[in-house]
Amino acid sequence: MATSRSDRRAPLLLVLPTMLILLLALGYPIAWQLVTSLQKYGLRQQFGQPPEWVWLENYRTLVSDPTLWAVVARSLVFCVVVAFLTVAIGGLLALLMQRVGGFARIVLQVSLLLAWAMPVVAAMTVWIWIVDWRRGLLNWLLVRVGFEGADQHNWLAEPISFFVVAGVIVVWMSVPFVALSIYAGLTQVSTEVLEAAQLDGASWWQRLRYVIAPLIAPVISIVLLLQLIWDLRVFTQIKMLQDAGGLANETNLLGTFIYQLGTGKGDFGMSSAVSVVMLLLTVALSWYYVRSLMKEEAA
């Protein structure tokens, strides 16, 4: 039976309201940032003065500014290292949840959920107390076990130790999502396939590498992509650590750099230009995965 034109239009009409909401919710902020990045938009414009169109001048200034490239390189290295560490640790925890007993699995899952559900500001308050150079728990413990040099040591004063602390915090906050997602994928692996591989003489490592890993590869790809995007946009953890004693100019990532330009210096045109650069980096990082999805859909 031939499908009528009204029947073919029905799915489009049902999807149309959602598409319009997404366009309004996502399209308007992006369009506003694109327009603002082409303008000289500062504090005066906040009080009603019309913005001055400078077109690509903001981007020319950014390209010639070595500070931007340092922030971009720092942000990319941080997000790649932290994202891969998060997926690796989350994958190990997922394998652990699969192998332990029921009670231990429930305890582990509840612990992960509690860590994941903790508000970022509340968690950061605890972490800042832990690494505080005056009365922090970390220095107190290190002194007690014999590291006298840790007394009154400021872990946030040096960029390297600052990013080590920031990386630990971001990984701690992100691992629960990754671990639970990969564990959900592991539960879908057929036991018959694993038993067949075991009967064929495959060791646990061989079953993990040649059977389990390929089957859950789509889940790992998704969580890795999400972690790369989230870690590139990280802001709250870095900003609160900077306020607790870090040197902002030496520890800025893209999120805090945009905040510093916009809210700190009142240069919203330049901060919008950096936001567009961040958007392009996000698209570049996710383009490979999106292209793979399109190929699979076409096939």
Write phi, then psi, for 52 (nearest 5 degrees).
-100, 130
Indicate the number of domains in the chain: 1
Across 251-271, b (16+ Cβ under 10 Å) vs e yields: bbbbbbbbbbbbeeeebbbbb
Instruction: State pLDDT tens for residues 162-190.
Output: 999 999 999 999 999 999 999 999 998 88
Instruction: State pLDDT tens for residues 235-248.
Output: 999 999 999 888 88
In angstroms, the CA 202 to CA 204 distance is 7
Q: Give the model's confidence band at 43: pLDDT under 50 very low, under 70 low, under 90 confident, else very high.
A: confident
Q: Give the model's confidence band at 96: pLDDT under 50 very low, under 70 low, under 90 confident, else very high.
A: very high
Residue 130 in domain: yes
Residue 5 in domain: no
Residue 81 in domain: yes
Half-sphere exposure of 156 (CA within 13 A, CB side): 26
- Token readout for 40 is 């000289």
Helix/strand/coil (H, E, C) string of 88-133? HHHHHHHHHHHHCCHHHHHHHHHHHHHHHHCCHHHHHHHHHHHHCC
- Ramachandran bin of 152, using left for φ above 0, alpha for ψ from -120 to 50, beta for the remaining angles: left
Q: Give the model's confidence band at 1: pLDDT under 50 very low, under 70 low, under 90 confident, else very high.
A: very low
**Residue range 65-90: average pLDDT?**
94
Half-sphere exposure of 36 (CA within 13 A, CB side): 22
Residue 187: CATH number of its domain: 1.10.3720.10
For position 227, what pLDDT does the model report? Answer: 93
Note down the domain range covering 206. 52-298
Residue 235 in domain: yes
Quote the DSSP letter at residue 282: H
* Cβ-contact 278, 258 below 8 angstroms: yes
Residue 45 in domain: no
**Residue range 57-68: average pLDDT?**
89
Residue 210 in domain: yes
